[in-house]
Amino acid sequence: MIGVNRLTSNSELQNLDLIDLLSERHTLVRRISEKAWNDQSEIYISNSEWYIMARIYKKRPTISYVTKNVDISRQAIHKFIKNLAAKGLVKIQNVENNKKEKCIQLTALGEECYEKNAALKAQLENEIAEKIGVKQVNILKDILKLDWRI
């Protein structure tokens, strides 16, 4: 799975600063993850749609909560939610005692897709660990979880 459309050669990576290194690696693993999903599924799900699905997995947040807590424009979030609903991945319901608010949750199909994709991402993480070492992957994850105070 690894190595799909390498973005930058290793020699080019040596000259990048932290911000650009993070960006290059993020883009690479997202592209590989997206390809892995699309190679095994009939349902195309964009990275932004996955991002929204991750925020609502096993929850029933309001759409306004999602809008405030996802770093995508309000209009785009509404578009992505409509797309997800059209694909049968989410259902939108009225909030009890509130005519304005709507809540969103994954359907059974949405949860199944989310869980299959989580397994694909775990497989990719294992492949990365095989290449750079389990200890290095764990160190990297710990560093990324730290409060950087920025």
Instruction: Concatenate the DSSP letters of all residues of 31-92 into one string.
Output: HHHHHHHHHH-SS---HHHHHHHHHHTT---BHHHHHHHSSS-HHHHHHHHHHHHHTTSEEE
pLDDT (0 to 100) of residue 5: 47
- What CA–CA distance (Å, rounded) separates 88 from 121? 22
C-alpha to C-alpha distance for 126 and 143, rounded to whole angstroms? 18
The predicted model scores a pTM of 0.85
pLDDT tens for residues 22-74? 999 999 999 999 999 999 999 999 989 999 999 999 999 999 999 999 989 99
pLDDT for position 4:
47
The enclosing H or E element of 107 equals: none
Q: Which residue has better confidence, 96 or 60?
A: 60
- Domains of the chain, each with CATH number or no CATH: 12-145 (1.10.10.10)
pLDDT at 1: 53
* pLDDT, mean of residues 99-103: 89
- Res 2 pLDDT > 90: no
Amino acid 96: pLDDT: 84
Report in angstroms the alpha-carbon separations of 71 from 21, 61, 85, 101, 146.
Answer: 21, 16, 20, 20, 20
- pLDDT band of residue 85 (cuts 50, 70, 90) is very high
Residue 106 scores a pLDDT above 90: yes
Per residue in 3-16, pLDDT tens?
544 555 677 888 89
Which residue from 114, 105, 110 is spatially nearest to 62, judged by alpha carbons? 105
Q: Which two tokens stand for residue 63?
A: 């759409």
Q: What percent of the chain has pLDDT over 90?
A: 83
DSSP element (H, E) containing 110: helix 108-132
